[in-house]
Amino acid sequence: MQEALGVIETLGFATAMEAADASVKAANVRFGDWLKVGGGKINIILRGDVAAVKAAVEAGVASASRIGEVKGETIIPRPSLKLSPKFPIDVKSTTKK
- What digits encode the pLDDT tens for the residues 47-91? 999 999 999 999 999 999 999 999 999 999 998 888 877 777 777
CATH number (domain holding residue 15): 3.30.70.1710
Q: For residue 76, how many other CB atoms are within 10 A of its CB?
A: 16
Considering its fold, how many domains does the chain have in total? Answer: 1
Residue with the bigger pLDDT between 87 and 44: it is: 44
12 Cβ partners below 8 Å, 6+ apart? 40, 42, 68, 69
When the pLDDT of each residue in the chain is averaged and rounded to a whole number, the result is: 90
Residue 63 belongs to a domain:
yes
Residue 61 belongs to a domain:
yes
Residue 93 belongs to a domain:
no
Question: What are the strands of the beta sheet with 30-38, ordered from one edge?
Answer: 30-38, 41-48, 4-11, 69-76
Residue 89 belongs to a domain:
no
Residue 57 belongs to a domain:
yes
Residue 82 belongs to a domain:
no
Give the domain extent around 19. 4-76
Residue with the bigger pLDDT between 6 and 94: it is: 6
Closest CA relative to residue 32, chosen from 67, 83, 97: 83
